[in-house]
Chain A
Amino acid sequence: MKDIGLTHFLIVSTMLFFIGVYGFLTRRNMITMLMSVELILNACNINFIAFNKYLFPDKLDGTFFTLFNIAIAAAEAAVAIAIIINLYRMRKSIDAEDADMMRS
């Protein structure tokens, strides 16, 4: 094992993805859950970059998608935080357990 290859990147991104999933499922704080979602998105970004570099080195599609993703993640964070702030105003809490108004 001399160079860092595609496998290494994929292992990192997989770990990052599952750390994100774990955080999303276990944390009750919505800000933390949002951060976990960012981790999942970034795991996805790493995959894009890695595949682009190793499989199609003469193309830039993966890089562009990553840039899109970053932009989308920013927008998503803005929306999510706006929702969380509104929820806080209503419930005085940002605990996901308390946000069950849409229950049947």
Chain B
Amino acid sequence: MSDSLALLLVPGLPIAGFLLIILFGRRYFPKASGMVGTFIMLISAAISILTAYKYFFVTGKVDGVYQHMYAFKYVWLPFTDSLSIDMGAMMDPISMVMIVVVTFVSLMVHIYSLGYMKGEERYATYYSYLGLFTFSMLGLVLSTNIFQIYIFWELVGVSSFLLIGYYFDKPSAVAASKKAFIVTRFADAFFLIGILVLSYYTGTLDFETMIQRLTVPGEHLTAIATAGFLGASALTWGLLLIFIGGAGKSAMFPLHVWLPDAMEGPTPVSALIHAATMVVAGVFLVARMFPVFALSCPVALDVVAYVGIFSSMFAAVIACTQTDIKRVLAYSTMSQIGYMMFALGVSRFGGESGLGFTASFFHLFTHAMFKALLFLGAGAVIHYVHSNEMKDMGGLRKHMPVTHIVFLIACLAISGIPPFAGFFSKEEILTAAHQSNPVIYWCAIATAAFTAFYMFRLYFNIFWSKEYKPAHNHDDHGDDDHHHGEAPWAMKIPLIILALLSIGTGFIPFGNFVSSDGHALHSEFHLTAAILPVSLAVISILVAALFYRKLTVVPTRLAGALKGVYSAAFNKFYIDEIYLFKTKKVIFGIFGNLAAWFDKNIVDGVINLSATAAENFSDTLKGMQNGKIQNYAVYFFSGLLGFVLLMVFLSN
């Protein structure tokens, strides 16, 4: 199969599945749409894995360097000879890694949902949305053109909106979907401005041309680097604006507020969109523009690094206090994406200094596996307990042995315990940070310790702690006392596959495949560097075990002792409240009132004035139609007279 056909099929099949299910599936085969969607996804995933394999091992490498290749590319909207919006599929290491991640996780979620979503009323609609999302995400990662990425970026936002708001009869889900859409859309506005700034100076929208013009010294680079605005060059502004777009999608501080709320969606959706694929779009975007960041504008890259490390720590602290298990995972996602971001931020272009780039994508890959596993595992728990709250759980290890094991594996992986996948990628990130910036390195070490603590707090609270009593099932259904078992096989199989991958993917020599400049990067593994983070993680796990393995008063006492910090973290550092204050008081209160005044008095005033004028005029005119025939005759004759006079006047 040729690459162009393959990469046409990879995103083409999910969108075909979406159309098939939304147009016909909902009516004619609602029960079978899950199988249809899953089957389509299976083909798409198989093709994408084959294509990536072919790229990495057969065609991609020329003289030891991975090439940028176009599977296909055609002009979609030409503006001038040099400026056009193209549609196409680019093949390079990062896009190949991404299509594998996206299709694979999507496939796992499709299979899992066969069990999890069974019996839902809008089952077919759910599967169609999954197809739409997968299509958009694949289109995004394969983009050849910054405008194409923007189009798919928005499509991803829409499908995320649809899936978060899937339970649209739940007001909190509706609010969450709106919030996610508005916050990311707000960031996307900056992204668009960034696109316009960069394309204005480079005269192109094509990634390859743009990157080339912005990295190789020449007229374009000189123009954009000298044009200043508020003390920074247009290049810095353009890149920062693009990063804001990426930060919005990737839930970086301070645009992260939508991600925890997005957990209102079905849990498999959270696994797919809000853990493994869509939220790393920002990382992907920065990686796509990475040569420009690294070669021409290190300042912007520093911003990426600091935003990344701050978000990472910030989220890790909040995650220690949350009680909703999905929210803990949401904050841990934000923290891990912060890891990927600062790994990009500390990286430089080419050679050994590009280790951060490789590490970032390595972590993206392993994180996709273990975070999807964590979410799907949490989904299985929620499926069993019918609650998201930790207080309703505890002691589940006997009730759900498979989930228990895979969840433990995922927790070990994310905590960076060897030999699980997270250990290797995290070590690589820490090494990269150590090489370039000690502040970031120590912050990252602290974050790693926090990560281990909150993940095992979660683990012990779910599976150990107190004995499990299915208390509230009595309220739900009378006969539900004998429980419905752990989970159907459709849910267990993806969990097991992902667990195996969470163990195994760490051993992939990622530097051979993905690096900032396409050359293979042989990172040496320093055992000594691993001692500190691993021992810290182990200590954190032991502390978590001490606190939460049995029900003790220690955590409550500790929370009491650190009252201020604890309640601030529990309330997510009041970021939501600040936003509410800003929107309610400042925007609605001041600008909103001004706009309302303008609308009521000026805009409405003009309309009302014209309406009143028309009414008065027509009232006057109405008086002429009084039914008196002789009045009419007067009008008629005076009109005639006027006409005659006019003719006389004109003819003279």
Contact = CB atoms under 8 A, between A and B. Distances in A.
Interface of A: 21, 24-25, 28, 33, 96-97, 99-104
Interface stretch (B28-36, B496-504, B583-591, B627-635): B627-635
B618 to A, nearest CB: 11
Given A21-B637, A24-B633, A97 B622 contact: no
Given A21-B637, A25-B634, A25-B637, A99 B626 contact: no
Contacts of A24: 630, 633
B637 A97 contact: no
A101 B629 contact: no
A101 B633 CA distance: 16
B630 A25 contact: yes
A93 B629 CA distance: 15
Nearest to B623: A104
A94 to B, nearest CB: 12
Contacts of A96: 628-630
Interface in B415-450: none
Contacts of A101: 627
Contacts of B634: 25
A103 B625 contact: yes
Nearest to B640: A21
A104 B630 contact: no
26 contacts: A21-B637, A24-B630, A24-B633, A25-B630, A25-B633, A25-B634, A25-B637, A28-B630, A33-B630, A96-B628, A96-B629, A96-B630, A97-B628, A99-B627, A99-B629, A100-B626, A100-B627, A100-B628, A101-B627, A102-B627, A103-B626, A103-B627, A103-B628, A104-B622, A104-B625, A104-B627
Contacts of B630: 24-25, 28, 33, 96
Given A100-B627, A100-B628, 15 more contacts: A24-B630, A24-B633, A25-B637, A33-B630, A96-B630, A97-B628, A99-B627, A101-B627, A102-B627, A103-B625, A103-B626, A103-B627, A103-B628, A104-B622, A104-B625
B64 to A, nearest CB: 92
Contacts of A28: 630
Interface of B: 622, 625-630, 633-634, 637
Nearest to B634: A25
Identify whether the interface residues of B are mostly helix, strand, loop, or mixed. Answer: helix
Contacts of B628: 96-97, 100, 103
B28 to A, nearest CB: 59
Contacts of A25: 630, 633-634, 637
A96 B626 CA distance: 12
Nearest to A26: B630
A101 B629 CA distance: 10
A28 B629 CA distance: 10
A98 B423 CA distance: 104
A103 B629 CA distance: 10
A52 B627 CA distance: 40
Contacts of A21: 637
A100 B630 CA distance: 10
A41 B271 CA distance: 94
Contacts of B637: 21, 25
A100 B632 CA distance: 11
Contacts of A33: 630
Contacts of B625: 103-104
Contacts of A97: 628
B624 to A, nearest CB: 9
Contacts of B629: 96, 99
B623 to A, nearest CB: 9
A99 B631 CA distance: 12
A102 B628 CA distance: 9
A97 B630 CA distance: 8
A103 B630 CA distance: 13
Nearest to B629: A96
B264 to A, nearest CB: 60
The 7 closest A-B pairs by CB, nearest first: A103-B627, A100-B627, A104-B625, A102-B627, A103-B626, A96-B629, A25-B630
A21 B641 CA distance: 12
A100 B629 CA distance: 8
A23 to B, nearest CB: 11
Contacts of A102: 627
A89 B627 CA distance: 19
A38 B171 CA distance: 81
B601 to A, nearest CB: 35
A89 B22 CA distance: 72
A97 B627 CA distance: 9
Nearest to A100: B627
A91 to B, nearest CB: 13
A97 B633 CA distance: 13
Contacts of B622: 104
A58 B637 CA distance: 35
Nearest to A103: B627
A104 B626 CA distance: 7
A24 B631 CA distance: 11
A46 to B, nearest CB: 18
Nearest to B637: A21
A104 B619 CA distance: 12
Nearest to B627: A103
A104 to B, nearest CB: 5
A31 to B, nearest CB: 14
B466 to A, nearest CB: 84
B620 to A, nearest CB: 13
Contacts of A99: 627, 629
A101 B627 CA distance: 7
Contacts of B626: 100, 103-104
